[in-house]
Chains A and B, each alone.
Chain A
Amino acid sequence: MSILSMTKTLFKSIAHGPYTVLYPIKKKDSFDRTRGKVAIEISECIYCSMCQRRCPTGAIKVDKANQSWSIERLQCIQCSYCTEVCPKKCLHMDNQYTAPSFAGVRDEFVNARIPDNKENN
Chain B
Amino acid sequence: MGKRTVIPFGPQHPVLPEPIHLDLVLEDEVVVEAIPQIGYVHRGLEKLVEKKDYQQYTYVAERICGICSFMHGMGYCQTIESIMNVEIPERAKFLRTIWAELSRMHSHTLWLGLLADAFGFESLFMHSWRIREKILDIFEETTGGRVIFSVCDVGGVRKDISAETLKKIDKIMDELEKEFKEITDVFFNDASVKSRTVGVGVLSKQAAHDLGAVGPMARASGIESDMRSQGYAAYGKLDFKPIVETAGDCYARTSVRMKEIYQSIDLVKQCIAIIPEGDIKVKVTGNPNGEYFTRIEQPRGEVVYYAKANGTKYLDRVRVRTPTFANIPPLLETLKGCALADVPILVVTIDPCISCTER
Residues from 137 to 164 in B contacting A, C-beta threshold 8 Å: 140-145, 148, 150, 158-159
Decide: A54 near B190, CB < 8 A? Known: A5-B185, A13-B127, A33-B159.
Answer: no
B140 lies within 8 A of A34 (CB): yes
B144 lies within 8 A of A93 (CB): yes
A80 lies within 8 A of B144 (CB): yes
CB distance from B241 to the nearest CB of A (A): 28
A56 lies within 8 A of B60 (CB): yes
Chain A residues with CB under 8 A of B150: 35, 78-81
Would you call A10 an interface residue if the criterion is a C-beta within 8 Å of the partner chain's C-beta atoms? Answer: yes
A84 interface neighbour in B133, B144, B158, B190, Cβ under 8 Å: B158
Would you call B56 an interface residue if the criterion is a C-beta within 8 Å of the partner chain's C-beta atoms? Answer: yes
Nearest B residue to A81, CB-CB:
B59
A33 interface neighbour in B130, B142, B189, B194, Cβ under 8 Å: B142
Decide: A31 near B127, CB < 8 A? Known: A8-B182, A81-B59.
Answer: no
B189 interface neighbour in A5, A31, A56, A78, Cβ under 8 Å: A5
What 1/0 mask marks residues of chain B from 178 to 211 whose CB sits below 8 Å from any chain A CB? Answer: 0000110110011110100000000000000000
Tell me whether chain A's interface is mostly helix, strand or loop, or mixed: loop
Decide: A33 near B141, CB < 8 A? Known: A5-B185, A5-B186, A19-B130.
Answer: yes
Chain A residues with CB under 8 A of B142: 33
B59 lies within 8 A of A31 (CB): no
A6 lies within 8 A of B140 (CB): no
- Please, how many residues of chain B have a CB less than 8 angstroms from a CB on the other chain? 31
Would you call B310 an interface residue if the criterion is a C-beta within 8 Å of the partner chain's C-beta atoms? Answer: no
Would you call A120 an interface residue if the criterion is a C-beta within 8 Å of the partner chain's C-beta atoms? Answer: no
Would you call A3 an interface residue if the criterion is a C-beta within 8 Å of the partner chain's C-beta atoms? Answer: yes
Would you call B123 an interface residue if the criterion is a C-beta within 8 Å of the partner chain's C-beta atoms? Answer: yes
Would you call A117 an interface residue if the criterion is a C-beta within 8 Å of the partner chain's C-beta atoms? Answer: no
A3 lies within 8 A of B190 (CB): yes
A56 interface neighbour in B59, B130, B143, B192, Cβ under 8 Å: B59
CA distance A2 to B192 in the complex (A): 9
CA distance A46 to B213 in the complex (A): 55
Would you call B321 an interface residue if the criterion is a C-beta within 8 Å of the partner chain's C-beta atoms? Answer: no
What 1/0 mask marks residues of chain B from 110 to 126 whose CB sits below 8 Å from any chain A CB? Answer: 00000000000101100
CB distance from A68 to the nearest CB of B (A): 24
Would you call A101 an interface residue if the criterion is a C-beta within 8 Å of the partner chain's C-beta atoms? Answer: no
Which chain A residues have a beta carbon within 8 Å of chain B's beta carbons?
1-3, 5-6, 8-10, 13, 19, 30-31, 33-35, 54, 56, 77-81, 84, 93
List 15 other contacts, CB 8 Å, given A2-B190, A3-B191: A3-B192, A5-B185, A5-B186, A5-B190, A9-B183, A9-B186, A10-B123, A19-B130, A30-B140, A35-B144, A56-B57, A78-B148, A79-B59, A81-B56, A84-B158
